[in-house]
Structure 1
Amino acid sequence: MSVAMQHNAPVFDPDSAKAGQVALKFFFNLMEKWNCTLEQQMVLLGSIGRSTLYKYRQLPEVRLPRDTMERVSYLMGIHKSLRILFGDKPSTYEWVKKANSEAPFNGNSALQLMLAGGVVDLADVRRYLDGVRG
């Protein structure tokens, strides 16, 4: 018998509607801290439509597409890395909009790179920050 079953521990299901709600709550809180526009938010969530974005802003319990959950997961990792590197101060949230001469940014900001729209772009920012953290 597994330990989780022995202690009747709840099992987290990332494909559940509750997980989708938690992911959306995190996403919109982060977008507020980053001062992202609605258009930027739609791109970061995978180029979703405006009506879908407004539905998501109501924080429903919704099973999000795997791509959307993956995107939010990368954003969570980026946020965590920034908090570890810079703490919880306003400049922490401004970093994503500052130009960066290092690869993979090549003079652009992290947000500009992420707004290219691909999951790989989010992954590149996450990988960069993980490297900086060491």
Structure 2
Amino acid sequence: MGATDDQAATILDLPRRTFGRWKAGEIGRIGRDGKARLSNLMEIHKALRIIFKEPARGYDWIKIPNAAFGGAPALDVMLHGELTDLMRVRNYLDAERGGW
């Protein structure tokens, strides 16, 4: 979604080196928290693809200030690093697209 490697590592709550190994295809065990983070990210991606016909618009949306998040972009919310931050963005997008 246009996040840097450092941002992605923060969102996934991984050390930067571990994220680098993941990116290179060396994925080891994924704990419960990691699975929940990946699930939420996949749902965020899916919602953006449903809401925006052009993928680039969805990826841009992540970086645009949003009143729903106190004027912060969704990416900034996710960069707080907690699983609940990802869930907050996901829940917002689910509500915008009509849920299930």
**Which residue of the partner structure matches residue 84 of structure 1?**
50
**Which residue of the partner structure matches residue 123 of structure 1?**
87
Aligned residue-pair number: 98
Amino acid at match of 2:88: D
1:1-134 mapped onto 2 (5 Å cutoff)? 34-46=1-13, 48-102=14-68, 105-134=69-98
> C-alpha distance in 1, partners of 2:15/2:55?
32
Q: Mind listing any 5+ residue stretches in structure 2 that lack a counterpart? A: none
> C-alpha distance in 2, partners of 1:74/1:95?
17
Deviation at 1:41, TM superposition (A): 1.0
Following TM superposition, the consecutive aligned residue runs of length 4 or more in structure 1 with deviations greater than 6 angstroms are none
Higher Cα Rg, which structure = 1
Deviation at 1:54, TM superposition (A): 1.4
> C-alpha distance in 2, partners of 1:50/1:81?
27
Instruction: Output one character per residue of 1:12-63: Cα deviation in whole Å (capped at 9) or x when no partner.
Output: xxxxxxxxxxxxxxxxxxxxxx2211210110111x2122111111213522
Q: Mind listing any 5+ residue stretches in structure 1 that lack a counterpart? A: 1-33
Distance 1:88 1:59, change over 3 A: farther
